[in-house]
Amino acid sequence: MEFESMKQVTKDWIEAVKALSVHPLVKVICPVCKKGTLKMDDIRIPNYGIVESKIWCDKCGACNYLRMPLRHDM
C-alpha cells in the first residue's frame, strides 16, 4: 500500500470512529475494503476505569480499537 493511500485509510478510520462514537448503530463503510460495514463491540474494563471499543469490518476483518474513560452513567 502506498504511503498516501495509507494516510487516507488512517483519516477514514478516524472519521469512522468519530461517527460510531456518536451513533454506534450508524452504517459506516469499511475504510480498508470499501465493501463491508463496520461493527462495534464495547468491552468494559472497570478495574482500569476504561471502556474499549473494538471496531471491525464484517467483510475483510480489518479492525481498530478505541479506549475511553468509563462513564459513570454506563
Q: Is residue 74 a part of any domain in this protein?
A: no
For 12, the domain range is: 3-69
Domain count, the chain: 1
DSSP string, 48-71: GTEEEEEEEETTT--EEEEEEEPP
In a domain, 41, yes or no: yes
> Would the pTM of this model clear 0.95, i.e. be above it?
no
CA 36 from chain centre, in angstroms, equals: 13
24-62: per-residue pLDDT in tens? 889 999 999 999 999 999 888 888 899 999 999 999 999
Q: What is the pLDDT of residue 12?
A: 94
Model confidence pLDDT, tens digit, residues 2-19: 767 888 999 999 999 889
